[in-house]
Amino acid sequence: MTKSNPPNAKQILRTVQGQLECDQLLGARWLPIGPLSDLPQEDLRMNTPLDDPIIKQKRQQLDAIAQQVQKCTGCPLHQSRNHGVPGEGNPNARLVFIGEAPGAEEDAQGHPFVGRAGKLLTNIIQAMGLTREQVFIGNILKCRPPDNRDPSPTEIAACSDYLYQQLEIIEPEIIVTLGAYAARTLLDTKDPIGRLRGRIHQYFPHPLAEPIKLVATYHPAYLLRNYTHDARKRVWEDMQMVLRELGLPIPQKNK
Ligand code: SF4
């Protein structure tokens, strides 16, 4: 995974401001910009221009996977789907959210997390100071299991390669898994979500690859069913951990 990204706008501004502050110490009487806390909290990899050649290439690769998903007959779920739901978002995202499988709304629209649970996920992303467009959102299964039943092991085995390919293309810094199935699939474990959440795991795209950090948290659908202060607090603690790992500010109003 490439880590030697060019300096982003914030880093450049910090360097310039550092020089200006140095000038002030040496006698300059006026600084033309405000304190560091006033700088835009942006990161170029979160907001990379769409015409960037690397982004274009990643977008094309993700589009090719999305087309394969729409034609896939790899497991019986293709018989009942209206739309495959390959996932969507920033092809160069630093942060990727992975859920379990599309539900009824997702199957109808072909987009991930657009039902009630999806609205809650959008709220969580916004509470982190981010937008859906800055991250990538997908699922382990790309087609809806009938009646939203749990994914079967054979369905997961048939489908998970699409997700592995997507993660290799996007190269995120952190994966947030939503619910037990996503965490167990990517971590190859049978541990319950309560034991997996609250710490940083490592996901290996392949044995020789650099690991990607993984944070497991509850699925938004679980949160909707258990909308308690305690459950929400635990999810927010997990998201604060993610923001710290990404070096992004934690919005004060949600502390
Ligand atoms: Fe293919 Fe996955 Fe859909 Fe099964 S769930 S048909 S493996 S895309």
Domain that holds residue 182: 43-250
113 and 211 share a domain? yes
pLDDT score at 73: 98
Distances (CA, A) of 224 to 116, 218, 232, 240: 8, 10, 10, 20
Q: How confident is the model at residue 40 (pLDDT cuts 50, 70, 90)?
A: very low
The answer to the question of residue 202 being in a domain is yes
153 and 240 share a domain? yes
Residue 111 in contact with ligand 1 by CB distance below 6 A: no
34 and 115 share a domain? no
Residue 74 in contact with ligand 1 by CB distance below 6 A: yes
Residue 69 in contact with ligand 1 by CB distance below 6 A: yes
The fraction of the chain above a pLDDT of 70, given in percent, is 79
Q: Is the pLDDT of residue 33 over 50?
A: no
Beta-strand pair 136-139/88-89 = antiparallel
CA of 199 to the centre of ligand 1 (A): 31
Tell me the C-alpha distance between 129 and 35, whole Å.
20
Mean pLDDT of 120-142: 97
182 and 87 share a domain? yes
The residues pairing with 202 across neighbouring beta strands, listed in sequence order, are 213
pLDDT score at 147: 93
Distances (CA, A) of 217 to 88, 100, 106, 126, 172: 20, 12, 21, 17, 17
Q: Is the pLDDT of residue 35 over 80?
A: no
Give me the numbers of helices (H) and strands (E) for the chain, helices first please.
Answer: 9, 6
The answer to the question of residue 243 being in a domain is yes
Contacts of 64 (CB under 8 A, 6+ apart): none
130 and 145 share a domain? yes
The answer to the question of residue 99 being in a domain is yes
The answer to the question of residue 1 being in a domain is no
105 and 128 share a domain? yes
Q: Is the pLDDT of residue 238 over 90?
A: yes
153 and 244 share a domain? yes
| Residue 144 identity | R
Q: Is the pLDDT of residue 17 over 70?
A: no
pLDDT score at 99: 98
What is the value of pTM for the model shown?
0.82
> In what helix (H) or strand (E) does residue 11 lie, and over which residues does it extend?
helix 9-25
Mean pLDDT of 93-108: 97
51 and 28 share a domain? no
pLDDT score at 11: 55
**How many CB atoms sit inside 10 A of residue 191's CB?**
12
pLDDT score at 109: 97
122 and 235 share a domain? yes
Q: Is the pLDDT of residue 19 over 70?
A: no
Mutate to test the pocket of ligand 1, among 68, 70, 73, 166 (most ligand atoms within 8 A of CB): 73
Number of independent structural domains in the chain: 2
The answer to the question of residue 119 being in a domain is yes
Contacts of 188 (CB under 8 A, 6+ apart): none
The answer to the question of residue 2 being in a domain is no
- Residue 118's CATH number: 3.40.470.10
> In what helix (H) or strand (E) does residue 1 lie, and over which residues does it extend?
none
- Burial bucket for residue 4 (CB in 10 Å: 0-12, 13-18, 19+): exposed
pLDDT score at 207: 81
63 and 188 share a domain? yes
121 and 228 share a domain? yes
Least confident of 31-40, 93-102, 178-187: 31-40
Mean pLDDT of 107-114: 98
84 and 170 share a domain? yes
Phi, psi angle pair for 82, to nearest 5°: -90, -40
The answer to the question of residue 255 being in a domain is no
Q: Which is more confident, 161 or 30?
A: 161
**How many CB atoms sit inside 10 A of residue 53's CB?**
7
pLDDT tens digits for range 211-237: 999 999 999 999 999 999 999 999 999
Residue 114 in contact with ligand 1 by CB distance below 6 A: no
Q: What is the largest CA-CA distance in the chain?
A: 74
